Amino acid sequence: MESELTKMDLYEAIYSRRDVRRFLPEPIADDVLSRILNAAHHAGSVGFMQPWNFIVIRSMDVRQQVHELFTRENARAAENYAGGRRELYNSLKLAGILEAPISLAVTCDRGRTGPAVLGRNSMPEMDLYSTCCAIQNLWLAARSEGIGVGWVSILDPAQVKPLLGIPDEIVLVAWLCLGIPVQFDERPMLETVGWEKRVPLQDVVYSERWQERWTADSTK
């Protein structure tokens, strides 16, 4: 089992994981997709409720419809910016829905194990966080297999769910594009184009209390 799954050093997968938008047309082998989905399904979840489902979408017709929804939402999102920022936004490729051979809808069934879930009483949103853990597992497993993943968040779930027959009570958490990438970039695309830069670790880690500076030797 270990020899089959050890495709890449964990830290290498973490640091080289990218939000991929450009894909080659080659399909993903069924055994590779199964391993990736199985890794996602083995994520931790509050109360072991395993609230996720995955819908594998290959249909170009469905993907075309979702791409049209994305195009409309993306035009609306562009209105948040002006001037050079707007021009830069419009130049960005923010989805690979049509290029990637597989799209994956990831959902959360908030009532899967009943109204009372161990560990969720004080933080009912833990089921949604658990689903995000499954997505991160999927993303890292995909990277170790040489598969790129792109999360398309510029979509209105209320418009996407009817296309897939997702019941009203089920939450659509993510639309993911999976495929062999044209390349894995050295740095995240938004960092490369100057949209944002990576925040230094010391700026986001505190020691004991909010905004108390942390250093690597804070625990000594």
Q: pLDDT, tens digit, for every residue of 81-105?
A: 999 999 999 999 999 999 999 999 9
Q: Which of 53, 16, 59 is nearest to 147 (CA)?
A: 16
pLDDT bin (cut points 50, 70, 90) of residue 2 is very low
Helices assigned H by DSSP within the chain: 2-5, 10-16, 30-41, 60-78, 83-91, 126-144, 157-164, 189-192
pLDDT bin (cut points 50, 70, 90) of residue 216 is confident
Residue 206 CA, chain-centre distance (Å), reads 27
**CB-based contact 46:125 (threshold 8 Å):** no
Q: Structural domain boundaries of the chain?
A: 2-185
pLDDT digit string, tens, across residues 152-171? 999 999 999 999 999 999 99
pLDDT digit string, tens, across residues 180-191? 999 999 999 999
Domain covering 2-185: architecture: 3-Layer(aba) Sandwich (3.40)
Cα–Cα dist 72/210, whole Å: 40
Structure pTM?
0.93
For 78-116, give one letter per residue: b (16+ CB within 10 A) or e. Answer: beeeeeeeeeebeeeebbbbebbbbbbbbbbbbebbeee
Q: Which two tokens stand for residue 153?
A: 């968040």
